[in-house]
Amino acid sequence: MPVPVINIAAMREWERATWATGQIEAEVIRRVGQQIAQLARSLTRSGDLILILAGKGHNGDDARAARECLADRKVALLNVTDPKTALAEFQRSAAVPPALIIDGLFGIGLTRVLDDGWKKFIAAVNATKIPVLAVDVPSGLNADTGEHFGAAIEAAVTLTVGAPKTGMLAPQARAFVGRLEAAAAVGLVSCPHQSELNWTLPEDFQNFPPARPVGNHKGDFGHVTIVAGSLGFHGAAVLAARAAQRAQPGRITLLTDERVHGAVASQLQAVMVNLWKPKQEFPDSTSAILIGPGLAAPGVAGKLKAVTQRFWRDSDLPVIVDASALDWLPPGEFRKNAVRVVTPHPGEAARLLKTTAQTAQANRVKSLREISKRLGNCWVVLKGHQTLVGRSRGEIFMNPSGNPHLAQGGSGDVLAGFMAGLLAQPGLSVDAGKTIRYAVWQHGAAADALQAESSNWVIEELAGKIGGARR
């Protein structure tokens, strides 16, 4: 289950509810230590040196608990109670650089401005540029507001306990939080709080999509029709089609501009590639429609805008609209209970809202709600750091997977194609929200897997990787 994004007061209530059941803090600390160690191993190699900085509170206890689970790493522990006296020892430890620093100095209980000794110590840690894994919250950061108490650790990764805290998601906190992950299964009872904003967990997709019945055939798994590609942008059509294949619908038809038909068709084998026309009729067996990737050439809007609007308003099928086609959508209602999805990046969101990207990004939840409301309560995938999925009403989900290397041309085409390939399958369009969230998570998880293998991967590899990430 996703976990709610909560504040510090709610986290404290959650802890008290846990202790009331008889669960002991020592057991939760032990489990947190295990998860810290697991993440630390994924960030290092066998034999690497890891330096643990542990304060005197429970945050330090969590960090110390990781030590016994790191037998295949060299581990140095520095207990820091007085930063002035510990600074020299830290500098000696960092002289032979560890591969990773685990930050367990302060937790969410910090409420005071740090004195000069702590500011200097934290500055020394940041100056090393050694990757830091922060425990629960980067030391010095206010987990409610995202502001710091005079200084804060600049973490590469933060493993927060239980659920993300509101301040960690604030724009001003990103430089300190880095990549945010949640250690949800640490022995706490089910969270007693609900929130508008929820954090997706990889475990949400355990055994999803479900196994296919052995007696079924391709006709049982849908037929996605993709309208994509124009002069100068034919690669988007290829990427979307290849990603749709990774979702394994029964059939895929790609309709593309006659000027790029040869270039597109020559790169695809199993996909049926035909020409798109102004008065387009789709195959009778079509079970989902994707319109948008690579339709940016001059004159395309005049030929396809009416088609896009017709299917958006009137079709019973799931319709996914991406890229340039977002600008063609009509405001207002569409057919009741039909699945509609838009996938804007911040610039496209700004155009839909008739504002600037900076304004759209300032309150991403508000932007998502307004886009969905204007377009008849459709699903909105607001792409970017911690991509949001939701509608004008109800819960909004934040995606934890992905990395900055997704910021390459074609990344959105891959996501749109994969999502369309999933929603074309009758068994997956029933719970469209979960399927959309799964597509977004897989997109980011595939990028994370590629980044772990090589730092110079390209989007064509993403189209081949998506769908294969493990939960």
Region 31-51: mean pLDDT is 97
Residues 189 and 224 in one domain: no
Query: What one-character-per-residue DSSP string does 169-219 give?
Result: GSGGGHHHH-EEEEE--SSPPPP----SEEE--GGGGTT-SPPPPTT--GG
Residues 361 and 238 in one domain: yes
Residue 1: predicted pLDDT: 81
Report the distance separating Cα 422 and Cα 430, nearest Å.
11
Share of the chain above pLDDT 90, in %: 96
Structural domain including 38 reads 3-194
Residues 161 and 257 in one domain: no
Residues 250 and 129 in one domain: no
- Alpha helices by DSSP H, 43-115: 58-65, 83-95
Region 383-396: mean pLDDT is 97
Residues 224 and 152 in one domain: no
Region 115-128: mean pLDDT is 98
Q: Is the pLDDT of residue 328 over 90?
A: yes
Residues 171 and 286 in one domain: no
At 408-436, the pLDDT tens digits run 999 999 999 999 999 999 999 999 999 99
SS3 50: strand
When pLDDT is cut at 50, 70 and 90, the band that residue 280 belongs to is confident
Residues 21 and 112 in one domain: yes
When pLDDT is cut at 50, 70 and 90, the band that residue 81 belongs to is very high
Residues 448 and 342 in one domain: yes
Rg of the Cα atoms in the chain:
24
Tokens for 177, please give them.
């939080």
Residues 118 and 264 in one domain: no
Does residue 206 lie within any of the structural domains? no
Does residue 203 lie within any of the structural domains? no
Region 137-143: mean pLDDT is 98
Instruction: Give me the CATH number covering residue 318.
Output: 3.40.1190.20
Q: Is the pLDDT of residue 278 over 80?
A: no
Residues 254 and 175 in one domain: no
Instruction: Give me the CATH number covering residue 133.
Output: 3.40.50.10260
- Alpha helices by DSSP H, 248-299: 261-265
Region 313-326: mean pLDDT is 97
| pTM assigned to the model | 0.95
Does residue 386 lie within any of the structural domains? yes
Residue 215: predicted pLDDT: 86
Q: How far is CA 29 from CA 146, 442, 447, in A?
A: 25, 30, 31
Query: What one-character-per-residue DSSP string does 335-366 give?
Result: STT--EEE---HHHHHHHHTS-HHHHHHTHHH
Q: Is the pLDDT of residue 471 over 70?
A: no
Residues 185 and 261 in one domain: no
Does residue 241 lie within any of the structural domains? yes
Does residue 423 lie within any of the structural domains? yes
Residue 256: predicted pLDDT: 97
Q: Which helix (H) or strand (E) holds 379?
A: strand 379-382
Q: Between helices 364-374 and 346-353, what is the axis angle to 10°?
A: 50
Does residue 210 lie within any of the structural domains? no
Q: In total, how many domains does the chain have?
A: 2
Q: Is the pLDDT of residue 316 over 90?
A: yes
Mean pLDDT, all residues of the chain: 96
Residue 216: predicted pLDDT: 87
Residues 236 and 147 in one domain: no
Does residue 204 lie within any of the structural domains? no
Residue 446: predicted pLDDT: 98
Q: Which helix (H) or strand (E) holds 3?
A: strand 3-4
